[in-house]
Amino acid sequence: MSAGAAEIEGLSEGEARAELDRLQVEISRADIAYHQNDSPEISDAEYDALKLRYREIELAFPELRRADSLTGRVGAPAAEGFAKVRHAVPMLSLAKAYTDDDVTAFIEGGHRFFARDKDLVLEFTTEPKIDGLSASLRYEKGVFVRGATRGDGSVGEDITANLRTIADIPQRITGDGVPDVIEIRGEVYMTHADFQALKARSAADGGQDYVNPRNTAAGSLRQKDPTITAQRKLRFFAYAWGEASSLPADNQWGMIEAIRRWGFPVNPLTRRTASIDEMIEQYRLIEAQRATLGYDIDGVVYKLDRLDLRERWGYVTGEPRWALAHKFPAEQATTVLKAIDIQVGRTGALTPVARLMPVTVGGVVVENATLHNEDYIRGIGGDGEPIRGGYDLRVGDTVVIQRAGDVIPQIVAVIPEKRPSDAAPYVFPDRCPVCGSEAKRELNEKTGRLDAVRRCTGELVCPAQAVEQLKHFVARDAMDIDGLGDKQVTQFYAEGRIMRPADIFTLKARDERSLKKLKDVEGFGAVSVKKLFDAIDAAREPELDRFIFSLGIRHVGETTAAMFAKTFSTIEAFRETALSAASEGGDIHAVFPSIDGIGDTVLRSVRDFFQNARNVEALDELLKEVRPRPYVVTISATSEVAGKTVVFTGSLEKLTRGEAKAMAERLGAKVAGSVSKNTDIVVAGPGAGSKLTQAQSLGVRVVTEDEWLVMAAK
């Protein structure tokens, strides 16, 4: 059990739900910043802590698991401007370890899983974790035909032309055992020497500055012009594979040797280890060489060697159970907190940002850090107990900042003896710094506690919220209006051209009547304006799920919007039901149908959104201009049990419970711990008790272990 697990066990259901909602927002924002924008906002360690707490809350409160849960998601959606590539085999993330004890727990977990295999020796390959950008290279008949980024793990960006410029990547592979189809996976990176040379050339030419090799490599790989990528001298290490028509080996070590024979660079520090002591020893050896390697690494990766054992151990929440990333300790430095600024987001959240005296940590100059919320600044947690040693943060304080993974730091401590005598406690504003409206912390009705986040009550009256809402509306995952990015939205709002979403679709007609044409505005022209208007017209018949997501209803993410679209089919049905829930005395449960995966928090947000007359007015104006397409459900399954909810009960004789669960999840099923009306299949072994009785009373399909194995094999 982690340190935070004990705290989680003490949470009420309402507290856990509120915490899960907050973490959903923070993790999603961090995913976009790191994977899509190549501009991380928080450290790896802080991100991993958020994901760990998120997962532990879901484990402690399985009934709160959201339809758009992040535990099975990797990275961020593919960026615009590149064709999308769906990975035949998902590119998954790895579970993280930060201590030797974490690694020991991982290995011991493996031995427990394979407990029935007496005298089984678990061997693992141990290799450096390269800090670059993951890429997948597809070869057909030995010829390189397509390359893609990881993207969100399921869909990446087609960057074939750019990958062809990397000398380390062979255009054709030959030799023994080359399959007809093979996807080679690895990491694109930039050496320290090439990075410094690029910085020097750019500085001499008066060009941009570059922050670190990882971000530079990622940005170089996403260039629209491959000749620019070619100038950046990117490198590649291969370490895995995806889809393959056949495999030349039955273990990781043999596969790596084959990949090396085919002409791919494989990291020379990769070893095969047969015990915890050997794994930790190799970790120490690699860590000791970190500064002299000439490229960035941020840890060591352990992978179970035998492929058949991997298949049995399986996967969980978007990660393989059979692999682990052992991260290096974070780097730290000391600096001064110069100021605390407040930023206002789309939902009115007031987010404090630390402005720091510039300091170099790990070769990167850092000046900012997130401060999360006012309780964090005051030095107390949600339970009112002190955090970070109990020292509140004050402007003028000398603070310790920490970096992990070469990203923006976090403040981890205050040095009290260096505090100026006139440093006063920071007073968090109770008024929005943008519009002056009152900023409140909402009271959680169930917990009786105030939310950690203070929000501006100005809503659409607040320019900051209005602009952020418009940015969300036109974003790629929402209405996806090309040519109307953050810069244009901000400019058009300031000029009064676009104040609400409906204004986007009347822009062309108003521009035709205007004396000051948009094409005559600096930064625009006849061609760019025509493209913009064409893109706006192309967005007039959006998919229903995208349209619902674009409305910016708090807590309604892409997956949740899809659930609503699937349930209601049309925007008219969704609007009518939401308005009924918003009516005085309306009971959300009496009005909304039961939707698996959508809980009270989301339903209350929808109700609150439609209780605001300005939101309804804005929606109705918008519906005069756009016609969301009805949602059509297309069912696709790769196995008989895909998409089913399965419960295992009683004693299993041919599988351990862990193996059974892993098998179900691998086939696309959801494993639940209790039987309900939403259960599809109950696998009952000898000694099945109350769960079997419950299944029979509900009419749920009950199968034996043998019948389950037959279903799973189809």
CATH number at residue 392: 2.40.50.140
Percentage of the chain with pLDDT > 90? Answer: 41
Quote the DSSP letter at residue 519. G
Asked if 28 and 164 sit in the same domain, the reply is no
Residue 2 has pLDDT above 70, yes or no: no
Tokens of 185: 């996976």
Give the range of the structural domain holding residue 614, as residue numbers without chain letter. 544-623
Asked if 109 and 236 sit in the same domain, the reply is yes
On whether residue 484 sits in a domain, the answer given is: yes
Q: Report the distance separating Cα 193 and Cα 267, nearest Å.
A: 18
What pLDDT shows up at residue 209?
73
On whether residue 507 sits in a domain, the answer given is: yes
Q: Is 471 helix (H, G, I), strand (E, B) or coil?
A: helix
Asked if 692 and 676 sit in the same domain, the reply is yes
Asked if 189 and 316 sit in the same domain, the reply is yes
**Beta carbons of 415 and 357 less than 8 angstroms apart:** no
**Beta carbons of 135 and 186 less than 8 angstroms apart:** yes
Instruction: Tell me phi and psi for residue 545, to 5 degrees.
Output: -65, -40
Residue 363 has pLDDT above 60, yes or no: no
Asked if 129 and 29 sit in the same domain, the reply is no
Tokens of 579: 């308005």
Q: Report the distance separating Cα 239 and Cα 302, nearest Å.
A: 12
On whether residue 112 sits in a domain, the answer given is: yes
Tokens of 255: 């596969």
Asked if 222 and 119 sit in the same domain, the reply is yes
Question: For the residues 654-660, what does the mean pLDDT come to?
Answer: 72
What pLDDT shows up at residue 32?
66
**Beta carbons of 249 and 257 less than 8 angstroms apart:** yes
Question: For the residues 445-464, what does the mean pLDDT come to?
Answer: 79
What pLDDT shows up at residue 411?
85
Under the banding of pLDDT at 50, 70 and 90, the label for residue 505 is: very high
Asked if 676 and 617 sit in the same domain, the reply is no
- Length reported for the chain: 714
Question: For the residues 320-342, what does the mean pLDDT come to?
Answer: 89
On whether residue 363 sits in a domain, the answer given is: yes
Asked if 346 and 322 sit in the same domain, the reply is no
Q: Which residues contact 23 (CB under 8 A, 6 or more apart)?
A: 50, 53, 54, 57, 70
The amino acid occupying position 563 is M
Looking at per-residue pLDDT, the higher value among 19 and 361 belongs to 19
**Number of structural domains found in the chain:** 6
What pLDDT shows up at residue 4?
45
Q: Which residues contact 264 (CB under 8 A, 6 or more apart)?
A: 168, 169, 170, 173, 184, 186, 236, 238
Asked if 234 and 273 sit in the same domain, the reply is yes
On whether residue 689 sits in a domain, the answer given is: yes
Name beta bridge partners: 146: 138
Nearest to 628 by CA among 546, 711, 526, 512: 546
For 67-109, write each residue's pLDDT tens digit. Answer: 666 665 544 444 455 788 999 998 988 999 989 999 999 999 9
**Beta carbons of 403 and 43 less than 8 angstroms apart:** yes
* Residue where a domain terminates, one of 269, 294, 327: 327
For residue 577, give the CATH number of its domain.
1.10.150.20
Q: Which residues contact 199 (CB under 8 A, 6 or more apart)?
A: 209, 210
Q: How many C-alpha atoms does 519 have within 13 Å on its Cβ side?
A: 11
- Tokens 């629209």 belong to 224
* Residue where a domain terminates, one of 264, 299, 327: 327
Residue 259 has pLDDT above 80, yes or no: yes
Asked if 200 and 314 sit in the same domain, the reply is yes
Nearest to 677 by CA among 698, 708, 652: 698
- Tokens 């060591």 belong to 300
Under the banding of pLDDT at 50, 70 and 90, the label for residue 689 is: confident
Question: For the residues 24-45, what does the mean pLDDT come to?
Answer: 66
Q: Report the distance separating Cα 351 and Cα 372, nearest Å.
A: 6
Asked if 445 and 514 sit in the same domain, the reply is no
On whether residue 70 sits in a domain, the answer given is: no
Q: Report the distance separating Cα 28 and Cα 48, nearest Å.
A: 13
* Residue where a domain terminates, one of 277, 301, 327: 327
Element (H, E) at 572: helix 571-582
For residue 27, give the CATH number of its domain.
1.10.287.610
What pLDDT shows up at residue 586?
59
Under the banding of pLDDT at 50, 70 and 90, the label for residue 638 is: low
On whether residue 632 sits in a domain, the answer given is: no
- C-alpha distances in Å from residue 133, one per residue of 446, 618, 648, 705: 43, 41, 39, 43
Tokens of 106: 């991982």
Vertex 464 angle, CA 458 and 470, to 5°:
105
- Distance between alpha carbon 221 and the CA centroid of its chain, in Å? 20
Q: How many C-alpha atoms does 512 have within 13 Å on its Cβ side?
A: 6
Nearest to 588 by CA among 571, 605, 569: 605
Mean pLDDT of the chain: 85
- Tokens 């698996």 belong to 596
Residues with active-site annotation:
129
For residue 689, give the CATH number of its domain.
3.40.50.10190
What pLDDT shows up at residue 286?
92
For 553-567, write each residue's pLDDT tens digit. Answer: 988 888 788 889 888
Asked if 453 and 577 sit in the same domain, the reply is no
Report the predicted TM-score, pTM, of the whole model to 2 decimal places: 0.49
On whether residue 639 sits in a domain, the answer given is: no
Vertex 186 angle, CA 185 and 192, to 5°:
165
